[in-house]
Copies of this chain bind each other. A is one copy, B any other.
Amino acid sequence: MEKHPPPWTLGQLAELLGGELAGPSEMTIRRLVAAGSDDPQGLTFAESPEYLELAARSAVGAALVGCGETGFSRPHIRSKNPRADFALLLSWSEPDVRLDEGAHPTAIVHPLARVDPTARIGAYCVVSEGCAIRQGASIHAFCHIGPRCSVGEGCVLHPRVTLVRDVALGARTVVHSGAVIGADGFGYAWDGTRHAKIPQIGGVKIGEDVEIGANTCIDCSTVGDTTIGDGTKIDNQVQIAHNVSVGRHCVIAGLTGIAGSVKIGDRVVMGGAVSVRDHVSIVDMVSLAGRSVVDADIVAPGEYFGVPARPLKEAIRSFLLLPRLPELFSRLRKVESEVLRKEKS
């Protein structure tokens, strides 16, 4: 759909979204706002009872609600899919952080790098020998594109991304600030007197439509490539070690650590601060709750949780009993003394 940036009138919005208007058609909406905002020119999104109540009590201009919400008291638009419609409005409201066309005069581009004329390269970037920057890619200030890297069509590298060397990014992949891709894997062998480094000569191959969070690290492989599949989304401060392979359309939340040579299937979801032990395999369609520890292969799809990760229901049962350990001890003590007493009697 064509992009319609704010401001809008409430009536115009209802029409654009194909929603049902309940309120003054001429009301001006200047921006999208968070639940609980009192902005009289703001539009908020309220789906759950909690957020509906919050919006109803606020002085917010209007709300976008579900089509069944008939009791909502403030101006609103009823939508069949309010969440998707709000996401659409968000995309129309996105702040512009576009770079100027071409390369900034302070960007240092190696003569043996190929840069598409439609690519944009920001201030103080370094693009090294043997790189390819494809059409429409945006590389913001301070990015370091090391030797033999390729940045696919339409990629966005936010300020201060480091591709160390031999990193390939598929089309439309987005990398956030501070991420380091292609640093050496952590491999040593004790030689009797010291930890001798095992050289890490491989690269990193990232698919299309991937997103990589701020300050996340993805190490290069010892040989071959560390790989991330198409459509996978990785949050901030995630650590992905050498030789790992992550499948397609996975979601990996912040502070998660994936150790060396782990193989992860497609559509795997990891909550925050999960740890996966080295050389473990995880099949497709596995979901891991936050702070789980995977220390053995997961061979069946489903939800998992805990330390070590086990099927969710089973894990929760043990988890809920943990606080009852003191009770367990005292009940056991009681039974023991009963038995002892009878013994004596």
Contact = CB atoms under 8 A, between A and B. Distances in A.
Nearest to A203: B95
B335 A325 contact: no
A30 interface: no
A178 B236 contact: no
A186 B238 CA distance: 13
A239 B224 contact: no
A2 interface: no
A222 interface: yes
B159 A160 contact: no
A28 interface: no
Interface string A186-202: 10110000111111111
A175 to B, nearest CB: 10
Interface string A242-284: 0100000101011101010000000000001101010000000
A183 interface: yes
A134 B247 CA distance: 44
Contacts of A339: 335, 338-339, 342
A257 B273 contact: yes
B321 A314 contact: no
Given A95-B148, A335-B339, A239 B239 contact: no
A241 B310 CA distance: 27
Interface stretch (A12-20, A72-80, A113-121, A162-170): A162-170
Interface in A92-133: 93-97, 106, 108, 122-124, 126
A331 interface: yes
Contact of A144 (B34, B160, B188): B160
A142 interface: yes
20 contacts: A90-B223, A97-B146, A122-B126, A142-B144, A144-B160, A159-B164, A160-B180, A178-B178, A183-B236, A186-B233, A186-B235, A186-B254, A215-B215, A237-B257, A253-B259, A259-B272, A259-B290, A273-B275, A322-B325, A328-B332
Q: What are the nearest 5 A-B pairs in CB distance?
A: A34-B224, A90-B199, A183-B214, A180-B214, A321-B325
A323 interface: yes
Contacts of A164: 158-159, 176-177
Interface string A307-321: 100100011011001
A33 interface: yes
Contact of A189 (B37, B87, B211): B87
Nearest to A166: B95
Contact of A160 (B160, B211, B237, B314): B160
A55 interface: no
A214 B217 CA distance: 7
A62 interface: no
A301 to B, nearest CB: 15
A40 interface: no
Contact of A272 (B189, B231, B275): B275
A310 B327 CA distance: 16
Contact of A290 (B97, B122, B277, B290): B277
